[in-house]
Structure 1
Amino acid sequence: MPIDDLDAERAHLDASRQDLARMRRRVESLDSSTAGNWVSAEILDATLAHRLEQLADDPEVPLFFGRIDRTASAGGESFHIGRRHISDSAGDPMVVDWRAPVSVPFYRASRTEPMGLTRRRRYGFSHGELTAFEDESLTDAGPAQEHSAILEAEIERPRVGPMRDIVATIQPEQDVLVRADLSQTIVVQGAPGTGKTAVGLHRAAYLLYAHRDQLTRRGVLIVGPNASFLRYIRDVLPALGEIEAKQATITELVAMHGTVRAEESAPVATLKGDVRMAEVLRRAVWSHVGEPEEALVVPRGSRRWRVPSYEAREALEGLRANDLRYAAGRALLPRALAHRVLVQMERSGDSPDDRVHDAVARAKPVKDYAAALWPDLKPGKVLFRLFTDAAWLAEVADGVLTEAEQEALLWEKVPRSAGAARWTLADLVLLDEIADLLDRTPSVAHIVADEAQDLSAMMLRALGRRSTTGSLTILGDLAQATTPWASSSWAEALAHLGKPDGHVEQLTRGFRVPADVIAYAARLLPHIAPDLEPPVAVRRTRGDLAFTTSSVTEAISAALERPGSVGLIVPDASLAAVRAELTEAGLAFAEIGVPADEETEFDAHLDVVPASLAKGLEFDHVVVSDPAAIVAGEPDRDTGLRRLYVCLTRAVTSLVVRHDGLPEELGGVPEQEDAKVSA
């Protein structure tokens, strides 16, 4: 590359950094002293603080990663593409945000569809210093560039710490999903290494950019499978200048109903997650609405007004016909009964107004009568009764659950009260369903749910009701489903979410997992997901795949000598033994799931990863210990094989399989030179 071009690009980088500093100083010079009142001052201070966070500059992070040169007919301009917009003192762009419409050709242009570009340039950086660039002509005749060395180097760059953004390496098919319309619910069925998690997070960042006011006002929610996973992805959105989105696990999402204090067998948890429970709970809630047997008598002054039971029944049925939430109907019933009284007053020659209507609705006889017909309910008490009153459960579950299923729901040891109940996660999800039957759950503008294949029907309903007026990005892989209650298809999951028209897109091009590694793991697909297309690795490097029957410490020794992160994935039941072995060998390590410091959970060179927490994580070098035990540690073999598929596909550079015998579904050790075997 011409040195003068490289020097010019470095000068542009320096100028951009100076302009970013100028933009930050400008914001720092502003304050809330001119605000009209304290409320405005608080809002302005918060806005300025947020803007300063967006303008933070990390000298280790490049301000731009690409450039596009447009044809004369398209304007002839050149634009540097980066993580945030930077302008000079005259307001002209030094760097344009990757989410801006002008940046789209950087990701999607090709020789066959140049989108008004003559050239695309990618930059190589080292610790924030621009070291190289690579040009791709989009107008020259001849074959297109097949590989980008800079792109491959960025994908394969050693990683230590939480997940990083892929904004510099987004592929065309990923960009289409990232920029899909806000109104569209999308399911991304992604094989390991296809970047589905990154696509979901970048989609959240894009939507926050394109629909700032709407999403800031109504909220964006990121839902992950566990707390470690959320800590792993925590830095992606801030790196893209977005700090608005909230993160939560399903457990945290339903935590307002109680704390998980117990576990239950997989069959019972699966039953509680079955969509049929929604109908049982609906019947349970509405069974509390009574039938008027006596007339309502309302004394007012010297008169006594009488509403016959059949009119009270008509008022009650009129409210039921409006498909109201239980609590809303209960609140309106006194007014509906008061209306019947006012009709009688008008027939007698009175002219009652709204004040009279309100007074009658608040009268004690009316309130007591309405409360008896339509009692106040609490979710905990409803579910407590359902699990302790066999006769009532049989009544509301008739024709929905079998007698054996009803018996499985009943508690053997009955707590003193609902307040003393030891709820499970499945119970909290049911409580959330009951709460929504009573009062409508507030909806956010957009939800990104990762590893969604592991959610039960009732969990999916919990997500769906939080997006009744919004949309969702659902991320997952049916081949990686490791819960007994997992969805069998995305069409089924979309129905439970209340978004049956959602679009399903399958990603099969793998950019992270090396070819030999993914090919070996794919041996399990015919047994766990025969209908899915197998993933295809597009990287030229095939990666290192090795097998050994040595000890754990010997198995990881080679990986520890290489740069990048090392993940030792072990059966959950073996954690104590592995800890002891590593400690005796004097090896420093961190354990995923029990961090001494949540901020540094993924900062160790060696991480010990329970197989149950491996999903969604990635490491440069992975050692999977005792695959047979990983399979045997699950409730059934199908789930165990899916768990093993997850564990085998966490590597970016190398995979060592330490075993005392491989599951037969893997077909033994591959017969190829790359698959090294050691005793």
Structure 2
Amino acid sequence: MSYNFPSPREEEEKRLLVVLEQVGKRMRKEMALLGERRGDVVGIRQEFWDDVRMNFSDSSEVAETWTSIVQQAEVLAERERSHRMASEAVEKLTKQFDTPYFARIDFAEEGGEAERIYIGRASLVGEDGETFYVYDWRAPVSSLFYDHEPGPAMYRVPDGRIEGELELKRQFVIRAGQMKHMFDTSETVGDEILQAVLSEGSDTAMKSIVATIQKEQNGIIRDERHKLLVVQGAAGSGKTSAALQRIAYLLYRFRETLTPEQIILFSPNPVFKGYISRVLPDLGEANMRQMTFRELIEARLGRRFEVEDLFSQTEALDASDGAPEGEAREQAVKYKGSEHFFLTTENYLKRLKQEGVRFRTLRFRDKTIAAEEDISQQFYAVQASDGFATRAAYVKRWLLERLKAWVDSQMGEAWLEEAAELVDQEDIQRAYVDVRRSGGFHDEVFDDEEQMSLRLKRKVAEEAIAPIVKAVRSYRFIDAVATYRMLFESRPLFAYCAPDGKLPKGWEWMNLRLEESLSRKRIDHEDATPLMYLSEALEGFRRVEGSIQHVFVDEAQDYSPFQAAFLRRRYPRARMTVLGDFNQAIYVQSQDSGGFGGWTRLMDAGVSSVLRLTTSYRSTEEIVAYTKRILLPEDAANIAPFHRSGEKPTLAVCEDGGELGERMAADIAQLLGRGYGTIGVIAKTARDSGDAAALLKEILAEDIPLTLVTGGAAELPKGVSVLPSYLAKGIEFDAVLVWDASSRRYGQEKDRKLLYTVCTRALHVLHVYSIGEASPWLPGSGGPR
């Protein structure tokens, strides 16, 4: 008698149905609760005032009325919170019904039997509260899947480590509740799964990679030991994805003590912010705080000055390339981002503890309320050992008292008498109420009218100086700009503060440039971070966000050493995770900093770790091989492609822009016809991309979607995106078409890494076009390697 035993595939499909049934039960329950809570919320809102007892006849009734309102509001808030939680649960269960899990491991602890463990984006527990159908990918036991192949294995728990035998590793591709693929693997994550995922088309938003996390990425995600984690990764090696999964892991691991508001991620540009915004919600977590370094500068300096951003600086340097003015500016940009200038600024701050801080005189109608000399005297009357924070806070209190005394001194002034006569009826009524509350307007009191007049005049005087009071509360009595300017006005002072006692090359030009730009209320980008640092230091870093526990910096190779040190000072208690690729250091401010610009020197070696990701998963083998040849051999040595084949990149040399536009338009139409959903046309600068977009729109059919992406864009559109090189950082496209990679546009050594960065945005297809002679850095151009 023969038996037909079910195959492993059949067993897994049967088990999948059991899990989907559990998800369905949970979903029905949550949907019923959601409907009930929605009804509660609507009903309470409609009947809110009907259920509140309104009575204002005396003070006790007013208090009772207020209590009734508060109680009803609390009931509404609780129901709204329950409704929101039920809605989030339904959303999570919907995702689980689509893909409940992606892996299975069989693990036997030492001395025990093997347990089947299924791993997914979120856990799924049975109604008994004990049966685990799916484990969250962030659970300690799930690390076995990422870190080990079958055989002896271990995983860490808060109390230590658990050792045993990993008997099976199995991976699944499940879509819409249907099992598409199943693989047993002896590798960390099977190549079949990776190839299936990487061969999919790009999207306008980054996807979660929990099913394809590699061992080296898992080490980054789960690192809890180091205060500084520096990740050097090749283009397409999954740096940003690993960072986002790390944030999700930290929120899961420390969910009792860590919230998304205590994590901040610095992104390279607004486009990238939108691109990654979907990853954490996709994992069931709220997004962390996200900002660009530009936004930090703008919030601090943008109210009073026109502050140049990094992209405008890059455009300006490109426009003046080769001219004496351009060379001098480039020299200034490099120096003001250097560690030498940071140390100079640090020494200047030490000097300012003794003397030299500049202040703004407080005036009203050309009359001095507090002179700069008086403010300085009060500031330096506080002991230097107390620090800038104590001094600034003391002067603020002193000035507020001075302003209060000034109001008293104005009660008999003619301007105030005139202004008081022009107040409206509402202000008069308020003054009347104030006097009555204080016991006025009785027969035996004769100065009620005078009291009312005084209150009106005081109100007018206080409103007149309200902007000054606001400025004092915001510490604007400290003139950080004038204090910064002084450092460049005095050669002896600068040399005294410089760590080596020397002036930088081009110091005179920097001095004149700073004077000229500040006179026009403009701040060059290279001056923004030093000025922001000086300003915050003089105020005692009063706006420092001490609640921030983790700082993530993406594209860290583009930050100057000065900016890196500033962020460390601004978030002194935070752990830092910085990610980048020194082969993509495209900005002048960081080109002489060795790629990471001093990040590794921010903390002691004992609490720091430098990790490297060398495998490029984004692009095909052909594209990786092509882009490696753009770099110097020593820079490309450690870059390895993942085994995914595709078509070879192409280089088209055109006679003029017209031919380039025609050939590119034909290729775009063909690529769209082949099903590629995201196509990036990448030019060097904003001007170049504007010209390219205008020409392509004339040639392409009207039904082909084409969008010119600018620095202010927050989302990446579907279809064809035309954008400058610096906005493409961190983003990927199904196909990349490089606009005019000629020797005229990319012919200098400093353009090599920029061209590499542009070309490595491609997942499947790379076409390069040149007007005339191609860049010497391109393979096949005939130029030097």
TM-score, structure 1 length as denominator? 0.77
Distance of 1:11 and 1:654 partners within structure 2: 39
Instruction: Give the AA of the match of 2:166.
Output: L
1:562 counterpart = 2:674: yes
Q: Note the residue ranges of structure 1 that are not aligned, 5 or more in a row.
A: 139-143, 293-312, 336-375, 671-679
Change (3 A) 1:168 1:185: same
Contact 1:224 1:449 in 2 (8 A): yes
1:648 positional shift: 1.4
1:155 positional shift: 1.9
Question: Where does residue 480 of structure 1 map in the other structure?
Answer: 584
Contact 2:188 2:215 in 1 (8 A): no
Contact 1:82 1:96 in 2 (8 A): yes
Change (3 A) 1:470 1:584: same
Question: Where does residue 694 of structure 2 map in the other structure?
Answer: 580
Alignment match of 1:79 (pick from 117, 125, 143): 117
**1:110-509 to 2 correspondence within 5 Å?**
110-113=149-152, 116-126=165-175, 128-136=176-184, 147-181=190-224, 183-216=226-259, 219-259=262-302, 260-262=306-308, 265-289=329-353, 319-321=383-385, 324-329=386-391, 331=393, 378=476, 381-387=479-485, 391-392=489-490, 394-398=492-496, 400=498, 402=503, 405-411=506-512, 421-437=521-537, 438-440=539-541, 441-443=544-546, 444-486=548-590, 488-489=593-594, 493-495=598-600, 497-498=602-603, 500=605, 501-509=607-615
1:545 positional shift: 2.4
Which deviates more, 390-399 or 553-562? 390-399
Alignment match of 1:649 (pick from 743, 748, 760): 760
Distance of 1:257 and 1:517 partners within structure 2: 42
Question: Where does residue 102 of structure 2 map in the other structure?
Answer: 65
Distance of 1:90 and 1:181 partners within structure 2: 33
The CA deviation string for residues 231-261 of structure 1, in whole angstroms up to 9 with x for no partner, is 1111111111121411111111233212253
Change (3 A) 1:502 1:489: farther
Change (3 A) 1:79 1:48: farther
1:219 positional shift: 0.5
1:197 positional shift: 1.0
The CA deviation string for residues 319-353 of structure 1, in whole angstroms up to 9 with x for no partner, is 434xx541224557999xxxxxxxxxxxxxxxxxx
Contact 1:208 1:215 in 2 (8 A): yes
Change (3 A) 1:453 1:99: same
Change (3 A) 1:202 1:217: closer
Change (3 A) 1:40 1:200: farther
Contact 2:206 2:278 in 1 (8 A): yes
1:488 positional shift: 2.9
Instruction: Give the AA of the match of 1:407.
Output: E
1:172 positional shift: 1.1
3-state secondary structure, aligned to 1:472: strand
Question: Where does residue 319 of structure 2 map in the other structure?
Answer: none
1:83 positional shift: 1.2
Instruction: Give the AA of the match of 1:110.
Output: E
1:640 positional shift: 0.9
Contact 2:560 2:593 in 1 (8 A): no
Contact 1:83 1:97 in 2 (8 A): yes
Across the aligned residues of Structure 1 and Structure 2, the Cα RMSD in angstroms comes to 3.9
3-state secondary structure, aligned to 1:517: helix
Instruction: Give the AA of the match of 2:171.
Output: R
Q: Note the residue ranges of structure 2 that are not aligned, 5 or more in a row.
A: 1-6, 45-67, 155-164, 314-328, 357-376, 398-473, 655-662
Contact 1:286 1:326 in 2 (8 A): no
Contact 1:614 1:647 in 2 (8 A): yes
Contact 1:23 1:55 in 2 (8 A): no
Which deviates more, 386-395 or 172-181? 386-395
Percent identity, please: 24
1:158 positional shift: 1.2
Alignment match of 1:514 (pick from 620, 640, 650): 620
Distance of 2:489 and 2:515 partners within structure 1: 15
Question: Where does residue 4 of structure 1 map in the other structure?
Answer: 10
Change (3 A) 1:621 1:390: closer
Alignment match of 2:721 (pick from 585, 607, 614): 607
3-state secondary structure, aligned to 2:479: helix
Distance of 2:513 and 2:528 partners within structure 1: 19
Distance of 1:290 and 1:483 partners within structure 2: 37
Contact 1:81 1:103 in 2 (8 A): yes
Contact 1:187 1:473 in 2 (8 A): yes
Which deviates more, 78-87 or 326-335? 326-335
Q: Which structure would you say has the larger Rg?
A: 2
3-state secondary structure, aligned to 1:398: helix
Alignment match of 2:140 (pick from 101, 116, 127): 101
Contact 1:571 1:625 in 2 (8 A): yes
3-state secondary structure, aligned to 1:121: strand
Distance of 1:397 and 1:664 partners within structure 2: 42
Change (3 A) 1:243 1:640: same
The CA deviation string for residues 21-53 of structure 1, in whole angstroms up to 9 with x for no partner, is 257458746799999897898699669746743
* Number of corresponding residues: 594
Contact 2:396 2:475 in 1 (8 A): no
Which deviates more, 145-154 or 98-107? 145-154
Distance of 2:389 and 2:768 partners within structure 1: 57
Question: Where does residue 302 of structure 1 map in the other structure?
Answer: none
Instruction: Give the AA of the match of 1:207.
Output: L
3-state secondary structure, aligned to 1:657: strand
Question: Where does residue 141 of structure 1 map in the other structure?
Answer: none
Change (3 A) 1:258 1:415: same
Change (3 A) 1:613 1:319: same
Distance of 1:96 and 1:18 partners within structure 2: 18
The CA deviation string for residues 69-116 of structure 1, in whole angstroms up to 9 with x for no partner, is 334855433232111122222123232211011211121221354553
Distance of 2:575 and 2:188 partners within structure 1: 37
Which deviates more, 208-217 or 101-110? 208-217
Change (3 A) 1:26 1:253: farther
1:317 positional shift: 11
3-state secondary structure, aligned to 1:525: coil
* Structure with greater helix percent: 2
Distance of 1:416 and 1:650 partners within structure 2: 36
